[in-house]
Amino acid sequence: MSIQSWLESRWWRKNTDLVSVALAPLAAAYGIVGRARGAAYRRGWRKQEHVGVPVIAVGNLVVGGAGKTPAVQAIVRCLRQVGYQPGIVSRGYPVSPDKPISVRPDSPPSLVGDEPLLHAALGVPVVVCADRVAAARELIARNPAVDVIVADDALQHYRLFRDIEVEVVSSERGYGNEKLLPAGPLRELRERARLCDLRIMPSWTAPKHGYKEGNHHVAVRRLQRAYSLLDPKNIVSLSSFTQTPPHIVAGIANPRQFADALKRAGIDGKLLAFEDHHAFSWADFAALDNRPILMTEKDAVKCKSFAQANMWVVPLTLHLAPQTKRKLLDKLSAITGKKHDAPQVDKDDTDAGSN
């Protein structure tokens, strides 16, 4: 385990330990710089760039995975349901190109990153760049029909003017030890979340009552049927993998979460966990036997070049409650003046809280 991984593992403990105490002075300095930067933009001392269409900035307060990618996709699906033509801009981590690049479904992940390829699969315009303002301008220039931009992982990218802010926080990890970097996982203090227009909490289970947990709208995760990496038209039920324990490969922020979700679906396989955004190669699989290999879509986009018949992809979708959609769309309608019908209910959305 690297020093960074060891340090990060301590961030998610609820109690304060000696490491976080020792790093407290650095965290305090980080907090002062961060608050000053945010205040400078909010008070107009530093200029925010408006790109000409409404922007929905989606992000989190913690480093690492919180479910932003499926949240962005759920928001895009919601917008399209009521007639908007959204586009997506992203940093394209870990690549983070200096100049805007339009993402195609067949773009190399080494050029645009892994998560933007999942966005492109939605059939909407996607542009990646470390500078999200430049990305947004490029997207609009190439796609003039776009009438709203969803900015992935842009909550702290203050130079991009945002009309709506959406915070995403994992129901499992929460805010960890609630300390600022490097003593904890927080990019900004928890109080920053109160400024967001909508707060979404991805979870594997729906609330027992209503659709919220505290201040957060719960969005229910769902694993979909698996498809062959070699032939995506070959789709099978997850029950196909319950008899022979498969290999479970995950290079995401929390690999165990993927394995646990499969276990709840009756699939008890051996987990091979990698670092988030791991650059997969055939060497990572060469020693495995011919049992099925199950992986996430995020990992699969980096394995296409050496796909084998026993490699299967298990998509994950996030389902917003009708009330969550309504809140988002009402805020957007107040900005655009566009009237829309009540949002449609996706399959399984009712499980996310419809009472």
What confidence tens digit (pLDDT) does each residue in 146-204 have?
999 999 999 999 999 999 999 999 998 899 999 999 999 999 999 999 999 999 999 99
* Within-domain flag for 63: yes
* Within-domain flag for 176: yes
The residue with greater pLDDT, 330 or 209, is 330
Instruction: Say whether pLDDT at 348 is over 60.
Output: no
Range(s) of the domain holding residue 72? 55-84+147-220+318-352
Residue 136: alpha-carbon gap to chain centroid: 18
Q: Do 72 and 211 share a domain, yes or no?
A: yes
> Six-digit token pair at 193?
């979340």
* pLDDT mean across residues, the chain: 92
The domain total for the chain is: 2
> Six-digit token pair at 74?
């759920």
Compute the average pLDDT of residues 82-102. 95
Compute the average pLDDT of residues 291-317. 97
Partners of residue 196 on adjacent β-strands: none
Q: Do 153 and 190 share a domain, yes or no?
A: yes
* Within-domain flag for 161: yes
Residue 6's pLDDT is what?
A: 75
Q: Do 175 and 309 share a domain, yes or no?
A: no
Q: Do 302 and 167 share a domain, yes or no?
A: no
Q: Do 340 and 204 share a domain, yes or no?
A: yes
* Within-domain flag for 187: yes
Compute the average pLDDT of residues 135-147. 98
Q: Do 205 and 151 share a domain, yes or no?
A: yes
Q: How far is CA 13 from CA 8, 137, 181, 343, in A?
A: 10, 41, 14, 39
Residue 339's pLDDT is what?
A: 83
Residue 1's pLDDT is what?
A: 57
* Within-domain flag for 37: no
Give 14-59 pLDDT, tens digit per residue. Answer: 776 788 889 999 999 999 999 999 899 989 999 999 999 999 999 9
Instruction: Say whether pLDDT at 351 is over 60.
Output: no
Residue 355's pLDDT is what?
A: 30
325 Cβ contact partners less than 8 Å away, ≥ 6 residues apart: 78, 343
Lowest-confidence segment of 2-6, 235-239, 250-254 by average pLDDT: 2-6
